[in-house]
């Protein structure tokens, strides 16, 4: 039996995927194979999306499909599927995997070709999708907050592209973990960009600040929702990067992502953020976010 066959349902590895979509067909995960000449494997030449699913319903799907198209355009790849086809595949995957809270992963690579940096011509992209259980965020992350460390933003200049080439993000996240922190907050030229796997926010005098959408950050779908919720709640929100000094003096610091929601950071580089307790602005925005998740007309 191949190693992968033995691993696929090993809970220790967290591989809780049953059926996947690969190049036009649904097959069991242990039968899904990709060529060693795939440019995703050789170069990390591809893009991806992660869409949260609550009780079988996709959350902010439209935004995720738009961002996928944005990433594909940015790396000069055309979408192998129409939005309707993506939606159909996602619906089927979610059904086949049990319709609970899930995390849908979509990936498109430039396809299989002999190894050459120059784009191959006439090659079909590799199209892959899977859905797995949405990891539950530990309750104390919300009641007590998480800790983060600051690190230099060593990533490339195209952070608006959701590229599968994630080596810098992986190293940054691992350094955070090595220091006993849950996230790394990234500083570029003295300003906060985002987290290694999240967008980042600082609250100062009751106002929320987050870096503008440009090539230095990923245009987070949760970030878009936070902007909407803040406007709804009459809380001032500015798309303006904060300096390292402002970050260290902020009343509250948060991060957000589709799979983890909005999390307060109560310790930064081993020092308490303000009082070291979760803040009032986070409590209000998180309450609105949870309510939105519950009430929104999903799909």
Which of 162, 213, 245, 293 is catalytic? The answer is: 162
Q: Is 210 in the site for ligand PLP (CB under 6 A)?
A: no
Q: Is 197 in the site for ligand PLP (CB under 6 A)?
A: yes
- The piece of 21-29, 131-139, 213-221, 278-286 that touches ligand PLP (CB under 6 A) is 213-221
Considering only CA atoms, which of 215, 207, 289, 212 is closest in space to residue 256? 289
Q: Judging by beta carbons within 10 Å of its beta carbon (0-12, 13-18, 19+), is residue 153 exposed, middle or buried? A: buried
Q: Is 107 in the site for ligand PLP (CB under 6 A)?
A: no
Residue in 257, 266, 267, 286 binding ligand PLP, rule: CB under 6 A: 257
Task: Judge whether 112 and 126 are in contact, CB under 8 Å.
Answer: yes
Q: Residues 154, 157, 160, CA angle at the centre, nearest 5°?
A: 110
Task: Judge whether 6 and 29 are in contact, CB under 8 Å.
Answer: no
Q: Is 199 in the site for ligand PLP (CB under 6 A)?
A: yes
Question: Which is closer to ligand PLP, CB of 57 or CB of 96?
Answer: 57
Q: For residue 295, what are its two tokens?
A: 């009430």
Which of the residues 163 through 182 are near ligand PLP (CB under 6 A)? 169
Q: Is 144 a catalytic residue?
A: no
Question: Which is closer to ligand PLP, CB of 23 or CB of 83?
Answer: 83
Q: How far is the CB of 201 from ligand PLP (least distance, A)?
A: 11
Q: Is 220 in the site for ligand PLP (CB under 6 A)?
A: yes
Q: Is 46 in the site for ligand PLP (CB under 6 A)?
A: no
Question: Which is closer to ligand PLP, CB of 120 or CB of 261?
Answer: 261
Q: Is 38 in the site for ligand PLP (CB under 6 A)?
A: no
Residue in 65, 112, 218, 281 binding ligand PLP, rule: CB under 6 A: 218
Considering only CA atoms, which of 49, 53, 47, 58 is closest in space to residue 220? 49
Q: Judging by beta carbons within 10 Å of its beta carbon (0-12, 13-18, 19+), is residue 133 exposed, middle or buried? A: middle
How far apart (Å, rounded) are the C-alpha atoms in residues 247 and 263? 16
CA atoms within 13 A on the CB side of 225: 25
Residue 265 Ramachandran class (φ > 0 left, ψ -120 to 50 alpha, else beta): beta
Residues involved in catalysis: 162
Interface ranges with ligand PLP (CB under 6 A):
169, 194, 197-199, 218, 220-223, 256-258
């Amino acid at each position: 039996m191949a190693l992968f066959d033995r691993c696929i349902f090993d809970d220790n590895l967290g591989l809780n995927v049953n059926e996947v979509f690969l190049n036009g067909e649904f097959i069991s995960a242990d039968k899904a194979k990709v060529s060693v000449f795939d440019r995703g494997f050789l170069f990390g030449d591809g893009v991806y999306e992660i869409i949260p699913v609550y009780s079988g319903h996709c959350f902010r799907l439209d935004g995720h499909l738009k961002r996928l198209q944005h990433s594909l355009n940015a790396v000069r790849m055309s979408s192998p599927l129409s939005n309707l086809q993506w939606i159909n595949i996602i619906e089927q995957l979610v059904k086949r995997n049990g319709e609970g809270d899930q995390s849908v992963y979509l990936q498109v690579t430039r396809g299989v070709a002999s190894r050459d940096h120059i784009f191959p011509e006439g090659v079909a992209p590799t199209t892959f999708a899977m859905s797995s259980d949405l990891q539950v965020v530990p309750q104390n992350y919300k009641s007590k907050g998480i800790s983060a460390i600051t690190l230099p933003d060593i990533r490339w200049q195209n952070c608006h592209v959701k590229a599968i080439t994630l080596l810098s993000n992986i190293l940054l996240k691992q350094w955070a973990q090595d220091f006993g922190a849950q996230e790394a907050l990234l500083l570029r030229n003295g300003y906060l960009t985002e987290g290694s796997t999240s967008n980042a926010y600082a609250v100062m005098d009751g106002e929320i600040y987050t870096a503008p959408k440009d090539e230095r950050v990923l245009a987070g779908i949760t970030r878009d929702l936070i902007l909407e919720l803040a406007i709804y709640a009459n809380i001032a929100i500015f798309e303006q990067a904060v300096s390292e000094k402002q970050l260290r003096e902020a009343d509250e610091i948060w991060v957000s992502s589709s799979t983890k929601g909005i999390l307060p950071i109560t310790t930064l580089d081993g020092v308490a953020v303000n009082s070291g307790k979760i803040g009032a602005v986070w409590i209000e925005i998180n309450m609105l976010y949870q309510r939105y998740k519950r009430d929104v007309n999903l799909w």
